Amino acid sequence: MKYFSRVVLLLAILVFSFSIIVSAQENAREAAKWEVRDFLGKLFEANKAKDLKKIESFYSHNADVVFIGPTNNDRWVGWTSFHKHIAPIYADKSFKYTKMAFRDAVIYPSKTGDFASFSVIVDEAFDFKGKTVEVPGTRFSGAAEKVDGKWQIVQHVYFVPLPAKEEK
């Protein structure tokens, strides 16, 4: 009987410990979702303000960070490569965002809460060389990693969807 009691007690401790671990992982994942959502909001604010210094702080500076844009030629590897592309656009005084907001965020954090994939729909508009351009429903997805307590984008995919074809 004494042996049986010890086994039951040991099993109860194991079940309790496992439930604490699972709960901690779920809490870490839920916290990561909100952190990444806030992080993305701040990234879009920095983009709307054309603040390249601030934008730079949202991205990993590892040589293998990847940026993919909306055209066949839009693929840059490394922050320096991407920066060379966006710097002249953001420096152009005729370019100004008039709207940049994201919605329908889907954020999938790792169990440990230090890595997350994300996907959002972006509604944006800007003035450029005297023309107003509205681009609703662009897609921005990627992956972010938490390094030293700070989120950084390690993969960036941004594209404008083609209009849906009508089904016949």
> Residue 6 has what pLDDT?
59
Q: What is the mean pLDDT of the segment spanning 78-87?
A: 92
Read off the pLDDT of residues 34-73 as tens digits, 9 standing for 90 and up.
999 999 999 999 999 999 999 999 999 988 999 999 888 9
* Residue 19: pLDDT over 50: no
For the stretch 96-151, pLDDT in tens is 999 999 999 999 999 989 999 999 999 999 999 899 999 999 999 999 999 999 99
Pairing outcome for strands 96-109 and 115-128: antiparallel
CB 37 within 8 A of CB 107: yes
Query: Residue 165: what pLDDT?
Result: 75
Quick one: which of 118, 136, 130, 137 has its CA closest to 43? 118
How confident is the model at residue 4, as a pLDDT? 58
Q: Is the pTM of this model over 0.95?
A: no
Over residues 30-34, mean pLDDT: 93
The answer for residues whose C-beta is within 8 angstroms of residue 14's C-beta and 6 or more apart is: none
Confidence band for 18, pLDDT divided at 50, 70 and 90 = very low
Indicate the helix (H) or strand (E) that contains 118: strand 115-128
Q: What is the DSSP string of 74-105?
A: -EEESHHHHHHHHHHHHH-TT-EEEEEEEEEE
User: What residues does 120 pair with on adjacent strands?
Assistant: 140
